[in-house]
């Protein structure tokens, strides 16, 4: 069996690349690992953009996986969901069993073209969604419905104090990569415009570090359990 992992960012891909002994992840980089009778492959696709879709499409055609799992972080749409909670969306019974074995919960995951803020998350919750990402709609059409799944970890709760525009400013819409200290980000960071943003970012970074450690451990658990399906 062949399973393809798609990670939008290098941060989300790091646990897999470390497990595979593939060095540091990079945009467009590929890693392979075998566990039991399952052949795993992974690609760092980039954030939601046409270039990210092209990377995944090209690699998937060569790989011809039995399953493709879009894996990484997402935003919560409901107050009961907290940072570090895992959610999944799949119509495959095999993948569902593997996801539930790491305590992930079934969910409806919306897809937005940009980072969703508090107001948009509230609207999505009213529409019945539990969480929101930026890549699922872009990529799921590349695979058969029963072969595609989203496996996501909550990185920001509904009551997050970090404005969506901060995260949005980090995204390079052409390459799908991350950019730091660009004009858009510096504008958002301006203390005259957002005087409390810096302390909120410090608080967020402490939570993010804890979530990242939990995420890494659960990805390894998931790989072990997927090898048994």
pLDDT digits (tens, 9 = 90+) for 44-64: 999 999 999 999 999 999 999
Prediction pTM value:
0.92
In angstroms, rounded to a whole number, what is the distance separating the alpha carbons of residues 3 and 18?
Answer: 17
CATH code of the domain in which 17 resides: 3.40.50.1580
Q: 155: exposed, middle or buried (C-beta count within 10 Å: 0-12, 13-18, 19+)?
A: buried
Residue 27 belongs to domain spanning: 2-160+211-226
Residue 120 forms part of a structural domain: yes
Residue 169 forms part of a structural domain: no
Q: For helices 93-100 and 197-226, what crossing angle results, to 10°?
A: 120
- Cβ atoms 149, 68 nearer than 8 A: yes
Residue 72 forms part of a structural domain: yes
Q: 38: exposed, middle or buried (C-beta count within 10 Å: 0-12, 13-18, 19+)?
A: middle
- Please name every residue paired with 73 in a beta bridge, in sequence order, or none if there are none: 153
The count of structural domains within the chain is 1
Residue 199 forms part of a structural domain: no
Residue 153 forms part of a structural domain: yes
Residue 204 forms part of a structural domain: no
Residue 28 forms part of a structural domain: yes
pLDDT band at 181 (very low <50, low <70, confident <90, very high): low
Residue 178 forms part of a structural domain: no
pLDDT digits (tens, 9 = 90+) for 80-100: 999 999 999 999 999 999 999
């Amino acid at each position: 069996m062949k399973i393809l992992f798609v990670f939008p960012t290098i941060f989300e891909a790091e646990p897999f690349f470390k497990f595979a002994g593939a060095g540091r992840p990079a945009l467009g980089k590929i890693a392979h690992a075998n566990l039991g009778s399952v052949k795993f492959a992974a690609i760092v696709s980039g954030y939601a953009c046409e270039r990210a879709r092209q990377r995944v499409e090209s690699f998937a055609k060569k790989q011809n996986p039995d399953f493709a799992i879009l894996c990484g972080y997402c935003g919560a749409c409901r107050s009961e969901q907290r940072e570090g909670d895992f959610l999944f969306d799949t119509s495959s019974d095999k993948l569902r069993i593997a996801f539930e074995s790491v305590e992930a919960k079934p969910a409806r995951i919306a897809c937005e073209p940009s980072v969703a803020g508090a107001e948009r998350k509230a609207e999505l919750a009213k529409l019945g969604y539990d969480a929101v990402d930026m890549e699922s709609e872009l990529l799921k059409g590349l695979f058969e419905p029963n072969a595609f799944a989203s496996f996501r970890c909550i990185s920001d709760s509904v009551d997050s104090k970090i404005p969506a525009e901060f995260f949005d400013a980090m995204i390079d819409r052409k390459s799908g990569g991350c950019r730091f200290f660009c004009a858009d980000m510096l504008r958002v960071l301006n203390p005259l415009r957002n005087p409390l943003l810096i302390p909120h970012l410090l608080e967020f970074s402490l939570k993010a570090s804890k979530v990242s450690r939990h995420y890494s451990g659960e990805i390894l658990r998931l790989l072990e359990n997927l090898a048994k399906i």
